[in-house]
Each structure stands twice: as structure tokens, then as C-alpha cells.
Copies of this chain bind each other. A is one copy, B any other.
């Protein structure tokens, strides 16, 4: 049975990427690596839509979030954390783990953050060194309006650094770090970048580098400056996840060939197709549709059905692998991801299977 992997990362790999992964190892201090690293970095800057530094760390996306905290903040400094899902909570936990005075600004799960509320909370908290925000919440299937939120944050005196978890959005949903003033944007290799997990990729603005100079948390493996110094000679300080780089070179080439604007449009179209399909079954979306994400669709499961059983039957009977709810949403929703080279046909299969498994729901 062919597998239709519809979890929000790792995503299915294009055939060309899989072939690239089988390449044998090379010297990570040699000329062939330098050319690989240069090509990947250039491709990443294109997808990140940034002229600033883009650093590559061998870690999962969470490692990249931790790196952002330990490079830019100091214990006792305030950070406002926008929380409207599982990954917002993770930002909060990481900041707290390192002694940052993390101030939560919570919104109901399924809604996006209100820019005006963010502005007020920043003023009320006073003297926030950073604003931590998750661009796209796969846990609830929403995308925060990052452009409007950064604008609100910059409207106050002494605007905070803007640190963005863009793990499930970058390369699929428009995000403009330089234009919007995002100081650090963190993503990972296994989502819209269509490579295996193993690399976290981070853009760093000039303002972030200024903060780096003053930040006092201890760091070694995550050190941005070390990563930048090595990047200047097309290397990494420590042996990188080479095969992931091989894959990433190929997937970045695919993205460039298609064009970023087309990739964004394609994600929007397949997401819209999915939402319409889900609704045509009489099911409702978990999030307010105004905020619905173009990379993952979260669907309420009617109380007469068990979500875990549904997920199991999709897997066993149809080869369709979707995700369940996290935290408080466990058992209440399923999450169908459409990140990367996904087609409307693949989403139609999911809708058709749901139709069989949830007969007459609401009809």
C-alpha cells in the first residue's frame, strides 16, 4: 500500500532529494563541501527572503529555538511570549528554562494573536527585550498575522527583538524577515524545505548581532558567532549532518526552479481545497477560518467518533498517516498536513477516506 504521509513534518521527500541522500560522504573541510555549503546557503537566503546571515546548525528545530534564546538573551531579561498553541508553549518553556523572565500572552487555541493585544501587552510589561512568536501553529492549524504583529511591536518605543518560530511555515507561507523586521527566524530542514530532519536554519539580523554582543547566557555548540565565522569560509564549526545538506541542495533547487511565489500560491490552493473538502463532509475546522493555516488543516472530530481510532483506521486501511491533537486537543482533532510537494489528488484521497470512515457525519 503506498503511504500518503500527511503529518506536519517530516514531509515526504521528492524523488530527486531521496537520490541525493544516497551520496557517499565527503570531507567537510574540503573544497567539495565548500561548494555544497555555499550553494545551500545561497538557496536558503532565497527561501528566507533575507540579505542577512543565515546559519545552519545540526539539530532539530527546537535546537534552533534554544540557540536563539542563548545567543540573544540574558537571565532576568523580559520576553513577551505569544502563545496560542503547543509550540507557543514550547517557546515559553525554553525561555523560562534559561532564566528569561517570560511573560505569557495567551490567546484561545484556534484563534490568531491580535496585533493590538500584543502592542498593549508589550507596553504593559515594559522594557521587553524580545517578543517570541510562532508564525504557524501546527497544533491548532492557524497562522499568526506576523506582518501585522511585527508592525504593532515596532510601533512602541524601544521595540523588542522579534524572534520567530517559523519551523512549519518558512518556504510555504510568505515571511519577509528583512521587510518586517524579524530579527531571528528559525526553521528546520524537514518541513517546507523537503529534506530529512537534522538541520535547523536560522536567519540573524544586524539588530540581533548587536544583542548577541551583550547577551550573557553560556553557549558553545549553539554559538552564532562561531557559526558565522566558519560560514565565511563555507564551513561549519562542527561536523554537520552532511546527507541532509545533500538533500537540501536538491530541494532548494526545486524551490528556486518553481519560484517562491508559485510555491506559496500552491500551498494556499491545496490548503483551500482541503478545507473545502473537509467542510463538504459536514466536518468543521478546528480553528477560526480567518486564521486557517496553509500548511496544516486541523479538523474537529465529532464526539461520536474516537480520533485515535480514526487515525489508526486511516493508517491501516488507506496508508494515510495524519496527526492527532497535542496537549488539550488530544482525541478531539486530527491534523492533516499539506506541506511541500503535495498535490490536490493526495488531499482528495484523504477526504475520500474520511468520507468512508465518518459516514453521514452531520449530514
Contacts and interface: CB of A to CB of B under 8 A. Distances in A.
Interface of A: 3, 5, 7, 9-13, 18-19, 21-30, 58-63, 66, 93-94, 97-99, 188, 190, 196-198, 217-221, 237-244, 247, 315, 321, 323
A22 B19 CA distance: 6
Given A22-B22, A239-B9, A98 B220 contact: yes
Contact of A242 (B22, B93, B197): B197
The dominant DSSP class at the A interface is: loop
B25 A238 contact: no
A175 B198 CA distance: 28
B315 A221 contact: no
Contacts of A239: 9-10, 60-61, 188, 190, 197
Contacts of A197: 28, 58, 239-242
Name the residue in A5, A241, A242 with the highest tally of chain B Cβ atoms < 10 Å from its Cβ.
Answer: A241
Contacts of A243: 21, 196, 198, 243-244, 247
A321 B25 CA distance: 11
Name the residue in A19, A63, A97, A323 with the highest tally of chain B Cβ atoms < 10 Å from its Cβ.
Answer: A63
Nearest to A90: B220
